[in-house]
Amino acid sequence: MRSAALWACGCVVLALAGSGCGGGGSGGGTGGTGPSATPGGVAPATPWRWVTADFHVHTEHSGDGYDSVAQTKDMARYAGLDVVALSDHDTLTQTTDPDFGSTATLTVLPAVEWTTRMHAGVVGASFLPPDELAQAGPPADWPAIVQDVIDRVHATGGAFIANHPADNRFPWVFDVRDVDAVEIWNSFWTVSDVGGKPSSPASIDDRMRSSGLTAAGIAPSAAIVAAAAAAGGGNDQALAYWEALLDRGERIAAVGSSDRHRWILPGYPCTWLRVRDNTPAEVIAALRAGRTLITASPHGPWVEFEADADGDGVFEAGIGDTVAAGSSVTLRVRVRGAARGLVRIVRRRATVHERRLSSGDVTFTLPVTLRPGDWVRLDVFEPVDGSLPAAAVVQSALGLLATPDIVAAFRAVGSVPPVIANAELYEMPRRYLPLFNVDVPGGLNFGRAAITSPIYAER
């Protein structure tokens, strides 16, 4: 059935490409200028750099995927990715494909999208989790079964991502420990808002009862209950879920993934990783350490976010790092490539600073006080260009004005990249990305452009 797979896994299914550049780890973010500290007398560490990744991409090895391993790798590189995880549903057969494997310019990671009552990205996978929780044990045992998988993933050098956690078909209804990342940005934000399937407090309650969890005495996750009450689509709720976990003291990376099955390129959105090299072990270590930020595509905007906690003028802490609490910390923000956009500094879910970006390269500092357990991160938005000739067509196709028809929107503005012959594949022009990433509850004038993982204060 090669006809209707856009939403196949409950995850959206898209991805485009940009104008060719990308990759290469230029730009991207904080700490990009060097390691934080080198103990005296020790040889300098390899400098930090940023690489682009998509941890959630399907191939023909998924029942609802379309393109071969070789084609998917070609698309990933064309899109500007340095790292791609081929995360097929409940299988590792893609890893025995003759074309599987890294190249000089693309790190290819084995992965599985564990597709059960909830969906999880197992990156660096070396085993398959139990196919279906209901077959693995009674509902009372499900949290322990999932926990066992997470622990085993870590023991075997992998990372565990809660995928589209608020999708009402696969909500993460109970709590587990040590999840490394939450996929807070799945596909295009606008698609999530107008065509997604968000949860509600009632749907979570219904899921708990109908699956037998309530009768088994399992409590619903307070984080998902809170998220399900949030306005917007699945990404807004995933963001709320993640922030609720951060608020209770967990350290969890933000990840953005295309969840591509067909039509679009991988890397929309993409996850940037602060690394010293792009080996699989280093990539997974960066993911687990929260050294991540998300941009709408591999082509920016470029975001830097650092902290000086000891007042010496050196911004020694970057995304994923921890600074001392209780004193004034100076944050430094730089955003390139989002002229006329907005940047917000968010501390524990509250915006503590918002600024219009007067040019395409803005740097500023801000003193803040961080209490124990605080976390602070950035949101970046780009303005929607309402003068685009096809903007009204796209708005209509995306359902801002009428019935959603995502593929019609791609056809309206997308160009056909020369990556795969005879494939229906669309590349999203950069200037349309804000429109495709409008966060509807926040208004139609700005699209989401970047979200960072936090800098943390000591607890």
Which lies closer to Zn ion via its Cβ, residue 117 or residue 334? Answer: 117
Return all residues near 99 (Cβ < 8 A) that are at least 6 apart.
68, 69, 70, 73
- Complex with Zn ion: residue 237 or 452, whichever CB lies closer: 237
Which one, 63 or 383, has the nearer CB to Zn ion?
Answer: 63
- Report the site for Zn ion in 439-458 (rule: CB under 5 A): none
Only one of the segments 32-40, 90-98, 158-166, 323-331 lies at the binding site for Zn ion (rule: CB under 5 A); that segment is: 158-166
Contact with Zn ion (CB under 5 A): which of 6, 11, 245, 343? 11
The answer to the question of residue 259 lying near Zn ion (CB under 5 A) is yes
In the complex, minimum distance from the CB of residue 163 to Zn ion, in angstroms, rounded to a whole number: 5
Number of residues that bind Zn ion (CB under 5 A): 7
- For residue 271, the minimal CB distance to Zn ion (Å) is 15
Work out which of 5, 6, 7, 9 binds Zn ion, going by CB under 5 A: 9
Mark the segment that binds Zn ion (CB under 5 A) among 8-16, 18-26, 91-99, 120-128. 8-16
Of 234 and 298, which has the nearer Cβ to Zn ion?
Answer: 234
In the complex, what is the shortest distance from the CB of residue 11 to Zn ion, in angstroms, rounded to a whole number? Answer: 3
Those residues whose C-beta lies under 8 Å from the C-beta of residue 446, and which sit 6 or more positions away, are 341, 342, 381, 382, 383, 384, 434, 438, 439
Closest-approach residue to Zn ion (CB) = 11
Nearest distance in Å: CB 354, Zn ion:
33
Contact region for Zn ion (CB under 5 A) — 2-10, 263-271, 312-320, 401-409?
2-10
* Interior/surface letters 168-177, b for 16+ CB within 10 angstroms, e for the rest: bbbbbbbbbe
CA distances in angstroms from 422 to 6, 203, 207, listed in the order given? 18, 41, 42
Residue 11 or residue 146: which is nearer to Zn ion going by CB?
Answer: 11
Binders of Zn ion among 163-192, rule CB under 5 A?
A: 163
Tokens 């904080």 found at: 30
Minimum Å gap between C-beta 243 and Zn ion is 21
> Binding to Zn ion by residue 49, rule CB under 5 A?
no
Pick between residue 160 and residue 315 the one whose CB is nearest to Zn ion.
160
Residue 109 CB, nearest approach to Zn ion (Å): 15
**Binding residues among 386-425 for Zn ion as defined by CB under 5 A:** none
Note whether 81 binds Zn ion by CB under 5 A: no
For the CB of residue 259, give the shortest distance to Zn ion in the complex, in Å. Answer: 4
User: Given the complex with Zn ion, which of 9 and 273 has the nearer CB atom?
Assistant: 9
Give Cβ neighbours of residue 248 (< 8 Å, ≥ 6 apart). Answer: 223
Q: Which is nearer to Zn ion, 5 or 223 (CB)?
A: 5
* ω into 301 cis (within 30 of 0): yes
Cβ-based nearer residue to Zn ion, 115 or 297 = 115
- Measured from the CB of residue 58, what is the shortest distance to Zn ion in angstroms? 6
Binding mask 109-148 for Zn ion (x = CB under 5 A): ----x-----x-----------------------------
Select from 251-259, 276-284, 333-341, 408-416 the region that touches Zn ion (CB under 5 A).
251-259
Nearer to Zn ion, 233 or 454 (CB): 233
- Cβ contact 84:75 at 8 Å: no
Amino acid at site 419: V
Q: Could you tell me which stretch among 258-266, 334-342, 365-373, 421-429 binds Zn ion (CB under 5 A)?
A: 258-266
Q: Where on the phi/psi map is residue 348: left (φ > 0), alpha (ψ -120 to 50), or beta?
A: left
Residue among 77, 66, 426 at smallest CA distance from 262: 66
Q: Residue 294 or residue 345: which is nearer to Zn ion going by CB?
A: 294
Q: Which stretch binds Zn ion (CB under 5 A): 219-227, 257-265, 365-373, 411-419?
A: 257-265
Nearer to Zn ion, 150 or 338 (CB): 150
Please report where in the chains the tokens 């209950």 appear, as a residue.
225
**Which residues of this chain interact with Zn ion, rule CB under 5 A?**
9-11, 113, 119, 163, 259
